[in-house]
Amino acid sequence: MKILVTGGAGFIGSNFVRHVLREKTDWEVVNYDVLTYAGNLENLQDVEEDPRYTFVKGDIADRKTVVEVLRSERCDRIINFAAETHVDRSILDPGPFLRTNVEGTQSLLEAARDVGVERFIQVGTDEAYGSLGEEGYFVEDSPLQPSSPYSASKTAADLLALAYHKTYRLPVVVTRGTNNYGPYQFPEKLIPLAIANAMRDKPVPIYGDGLYRRDWIHVEDHCRGLLAILENGAIGEIYNIGADCEKTNLDVIRTILKTLGKPESLMRHVEDRPGHDRRYATQAAKLRSELGFEPEWSFDRGISETIRWYQEHRSWWERIIQGDYRRYYDDQYKGRLEGGGARREGDAG
């Protein structure tokens, strides 16, 4: 089996490439990635020499090149991780999200049609379902109510993939995963940002009251779910991927500070994200019953190993933080942390 992994230099993509090379000794992997700010070949340094691994630099929106790669490499299946993924950046500037996530996916679907593949996995997000109240869970046929430009663009990509199945019989499977955490996550997302800030004794920004709830899955469990779907998922179907691990942001941040031996005075409530979804909670019962998926990572073990990874790979994230990322961070947080509204956990009011 030879697979084309698009976006394989990003966080989940690079973990997936490594997972497949480890689990499937007779598979080959072509990593096709345009290397935008969050794509980093350093994430895959340990597999570079593996003869079963090939890297090709390219954009999913460049249909001609994708077709050439699919033909010359003779890829059997495609899994699409290539995406702009950060909600806060999508609020600052939605354009790149539509271009990559919607137009890029459509172009990739066309390339897959041109060449013909056994299977096309569109990696999606549970954010497509929008926000829950106190009760209930997302299931695969929950209404789609995305709130941010990011989630709207990913939902559009899902729907296009499903439409390509219905209209052109392209063998598509769509996944909707919960919030991921683990090694190599870009430090703009909550968990790596909180770890990197706390390790440097910098304040950890908490949007609003911090009682927003996310459903967390360790990236390796997500990769196991995706591999099961890539091998045996039913064509034309949607699979949620989750690990039943709902936490408030305050709980997550407190755990990180405690593990690092840092004081809770680093917690800073800042102005909230506009359109902030209150709660995500996703049932992966279909993946469990149809494909035998069982998550292996508890949150306690996952978060402590993730923290250890960031401690042991300080140069990896410090290089990112010292680069272009700094401008984004300052735009996003400087005013919020220093100016109006920032409040330490425990302050009155």
Residues annotated catalytic, as ranges: 126-127, 150
Residue 244: which region, alpha, beta or left (left: phi > 0; alpha: psi -120 to 50)?
A: left
Q: Does 303 bind ligand TYD (CB under 6 A)?
A: no
Measure the N-to-C terminal CA separation of the chain; round to a whole number of Å.
Answer: 59
List 89, 154, 176, 189, residue binding ligand TYD (CB under 6 A): 189
**CA angle 155–161–287, rounded 5-degree value:** 80
Q: Show the binding pattern over residues 110-139: x = contacts ligand TYD (CB under 6 A), - = does not.
A: -----------------x------------
Instruction: Work out which of 122, 249, 255, 306 binds ligand TYD, going by CB under 6 A.
Output: 249
190 binding ligand TYD? (CB under 6 A):
yes
Near ligand TYD in 39-58, by CB under 6 A: none
Mention every residue, 6+ apart, whose C-beta is less than 8 A from residue 179.
214, 215, 216, 217, 280
Rounded least distance, CB 6 to ligand TYD, Å: 20
Q: Looking at beta carbons only, is 14 or 90 nearer to ligand TYD?
A: 90
Instruction: Give the one residue of 193, 219, 257, 291 binding ligand TYD; rule: CB under 6 A.
Output: 193
Nearer to ligand TYD, 59 or 188 (CB): 188
Q: Per rule CB under 6 A, is residue 69 in the interface with ligand TYD?
A: no
Of 30, 33, 41, the closest CA to residue 4 belongs to 30
Nearer to ligand TYD, 113 or 336 (CB): 336
Q: Specify the residue, 119 or 218, whose C-beta has the smaller distance to ligand TYD.
A: 218
CA atoms within a 13 Å half-sphere pointing along the CA-CB vector of 345: 19
- Stated as kind and residue range, the H or E segment containing 343 is strand 343-344
| Pair 43, 184: CB distance under 8 Å | yes
In angstroms, rounded to a whole number, what is the distance separating the alpha carbons of residues 241 and 221?
Answer: 9
Q: Which residue lies nearer to ligand TYD by CB, 122 or 148?
A: 148
Give the x/- contact pattern for ligand TYD in 195-224, rule: CB under 6 A. Answer: ----------xxx----x-x----------
Q: CB of residue 313 vs ligand TYD: minimum separation in angstroms?
A: 19
Kindly write out the interface string for residues 78-97 of this chain, putting x where it contacts ligand TYD by CB under 6 A and - elsewhere: ---------x----------
Residue 139: name the closest of 245, 238, 277, 276 by CA.
Answer: 238
Instruction: Identify the CA nearest to 199 among candidates 302, 329, 328, 313.
Output: 313
Q: State the Cα–Cα distance between residues 120 and 123, nearest whole angstrom.
A: 10
Residue 107 or 255: the one with the smaller Cβ distance to ligand TYD is 255
**Spatial separation of the C-alpha atoms in residues 212 and 5, rounded to whole Å:** 32
Q: How many residues bind ligand TYD (CB under 6 A)?
A: 13
* CA distance linking residue 84 with residue 74, whole number of Å: 27
Site for ligand TYD in 159-188 (CB under 6 A): 179
Contact between 14 and 44 under an 8 Å Cβ cutoff? The reply is yes
Q: Which residues contact ligand TYD by CB under 6 A?
A: 87, 127, 179, 189-190, 193, 205-207, 212, 214, 249, 273
